[in-house]
């Protein structure tokens, strides 16, 4: 049997086309969940799945599904593919979109080859995977997997004061289906690695066997505004200085630990934010991650103790709000092996690895056997317009997804 291959030109063309949708006045790619830009990306995806002759379904949290049902398998649990098409701010064109468009590409390739799957095959674009406007991240798949009540998710207030449910209504993606309406037989997500490992080792395929734990917090420090010129250093309750101490504390700890722990302060704002006023308030986010749950818990406890100590020493008030907390996840070993076997059959090297980034697969793994396929990221760069993966690696990854689905669909 000749080995089927995806239509590279169609996949790469759509990836580039979607990559142009949702650019701001500075040309940056910004498709935040529930925004007009997100709507434009969603509309493009829905048009492609309709043209492919798939059933289109949208659930209450706005997750979009393209479903290929064959007559005699219509009600069976589907093989689910997918990822997300919302982006971070000033994003690359591959994060999430590559997995969604490859899932559609695989279905179209199988359809046109006359393949008759033993069960439906579907592709999903999950809402708000990035969590930049509405926390937590992976929200659409978390709701889909039953990890967050849909009403609670729809009521989420964004960083811009908007309400997610109202935004989904406004853009026409507050769908009728109950999240979880399709119970997948298996889920496979193809994604760029977003890290340096595969490129550094010259390996084209990552067989992702686990994904690290994630802890997101928002910290607010309240000191006292005062005059920058007249207030002696010993009399300041400086929220800005205290925030800076926390940022360097987190980085130094993670940098000096010989563990895979990572710590990031991605957002920081001062009030009143004036050059000659000691900041009365500092608000910042903390993103802590570790593949080991006990170590992640210990890092959270160490941060809490440090904040308490600083509050006393600097006579400031510290409050912490939890934004997201997901334990590490182990993927289904049989699907991981199936990915490795598919790579080997195509003469491609593969490497078992841990995902440093969060993905929808970590949520869907709560309701179905799941695994991920990675392809290399040039320079390990992601969440950055310089994000890039070579066409050859993209096509190879999509073909491994095709092979994995063909094997799963025959089961």
Chain residues binding ligand HGY by CB under 6 A are 129-131, 137, 357-358
Q: Residue ranges of the alpha helices (H) in 113-226?
A: 139-144, 150-154, 164-170, 197-201
99 contributes a contact to Mn ion by CB under 5 A: no
Nearest to 185 by CA among 85, 75, 46: 75
Q: 147: which DSSP letter?
A: S
CB of 95 to Mn ion, least distance (A): 4
Rounded-to-integer distance, Cα 186 and Cα 58, Å: 20
Cβ proximity to ligand HGY, 57 vs 250, nearer residue: 250
**Cβ nearer to Mn ion, comparing 165 with 195:** 195
What does 137 bind: ligand HGY, Mn ion, none (CB cut-off 5 to 8 Å by kind)?
A: ligand HGY
Q: Binding Mn ion by CB under 5 A: which of 62, 96, 117, 206?
A: 96
95 binds Mn ion (CB under 5 A): yes
With beta carbons less than 8 A apart as the criterion, state whether 284 and 319 touch.
no
Non-local (6+) Cβ contacts of 242 within 8 A are 221, 223, 282, 310, 311, 314, 316, 318
Using the minimum distance from each CB to ligand HGY, give the nearer residue, 78 or 131: 131
Closest approach of Cβ 333 to Mn ion, in Å? 23
Give least dist CB 117 to ligand HGY, A: 30
Alpha carbon distance, N-terminus to C-terminus of the chain: 18
Give the Cα separation of 369 and 362 in Å (integer).
10
Kindly indicate which of the ranges 88-96, 226-234, 241-249, 275-283 contains the residues binding Mn ion, using the contact rule CB under 5 A: 88-96
Give the interface segment with Mn ion, choosing from 13-21, 46-54, 93-101, 256-264 (CB under 5 A). Answer: 93-101
Min dist. Cβ of residue 356 to ligand HGY (A): 8
Nearer to Mn ion, 242 or 370 (CB): 370
Quick check: helix, strand or coil at residue 162? coil
d(CA 125, CA 138) in angstroms, rounded, equals 11
Helix (H/G/I), strand (E/B), else coil: 240: helix
Distances (CA, A) of 19 to 92, 104, 372: 8, 16, 22
Phi, psi of 96, rounded to the nearest 5 degrees:
85, -55
Cα dihedral sign, 160-164-166-168: positive
Q: Which does 358 bind (CB under 5 to 8 A by kind): ligand HGY, Mn ion, none?
A: ligand HGY
CB of 207 to ligand HGY, least distance (A): 19
96 binds, among ligand HGY, Mn ion, none (CB under 5 to 8 A by kind): Mn ion
Shortest spacing between CB 260 and Mn ion, in angstroms: 19
105-124 footprint of Mn ion as x/- string (CB under 5 A)? --------------------
Site residues, Mn ion (CB under 5 A): 95-96
């Amino acid at each position: 049997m000749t080995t089927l291959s995806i239509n590279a030109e169609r996949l790469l063309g759509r990836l580039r086309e979607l990559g142009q949708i949702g650019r701001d006045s500075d040309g940056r790619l910004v498709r935040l969940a529930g925004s007009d830009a997100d709507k434009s990306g969603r509309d493009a995806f829905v048009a492609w799945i309709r043209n492919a002759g798939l059933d289109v379904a949208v659930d209450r949290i706005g997750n979009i599904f393209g479903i290929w049902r064959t007559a005699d398998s219509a009600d069976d649990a589907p093989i689910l593919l997918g990822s997300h098409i919302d982006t971070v701010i000033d994003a690359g064109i591959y994060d999430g979109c590559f997995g969604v468009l490859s899932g559609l590409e695989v279905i179209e390739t199988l359809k046109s080859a006359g393949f008759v799957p033993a069960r439906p095959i579907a592709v999903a674009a999950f809402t708000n995977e990035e969590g930049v406007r509405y926390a937590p991240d992976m929200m659409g798949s978390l709701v889909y997997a039953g990890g967050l009540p849909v009403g609670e998710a729809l009521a989420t207030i964004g960083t811009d004061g908007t309400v997610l449910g109202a935004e989904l209504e406004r853009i026409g993606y507050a769908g009728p289906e109950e999240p979880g309406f399709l119970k997948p037989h298996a889920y496979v997500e193809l994604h760029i690695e977003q890290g340096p490992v595969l490129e550094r080792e010259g390996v084209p395929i990552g067989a992702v066997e686990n994904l690290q734990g994630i802890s997101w917090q928002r910290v607010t420090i309240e000191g006292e505004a005062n005059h920058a010129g007249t207030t002696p250093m010993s009399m300041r309750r400086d929220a800005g200085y205290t925030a800076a101490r926390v940022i360097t504390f987190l980085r130094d700890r993670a940098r000096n630990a010989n563990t895979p722990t990572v710590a990031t302060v991605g957002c920081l704002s001062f009030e009143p934010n004036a050059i000659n006023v000691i900041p009365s308030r500092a608000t910042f986010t903390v993103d802590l991650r570790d593949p080991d749950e006990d170590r992640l818990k210990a890092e959270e406890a160490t941060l809490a103790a440090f904040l308490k100590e600083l509050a006393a020493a600097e006579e400031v008030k510290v409050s912490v709000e939890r934004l997201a907390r997901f334990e590490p996840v182990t993927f289904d070993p049989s699907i991981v092996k199936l990915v490795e076997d598919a790579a080997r059959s195509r003469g491609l090297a593969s490497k078992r690895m841990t995902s440093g980034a969060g993905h929808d697969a970590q949520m869907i793994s709560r309701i179905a056997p799941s695994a991920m396929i990675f392809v290399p990221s040039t320079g390990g760069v992601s969440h950055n317009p310089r994000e890039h993966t070579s066409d050859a690696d993209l096509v190879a990854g999509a073909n491994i997804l095709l092979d994995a689905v063909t094997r799963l669909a025959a089961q």
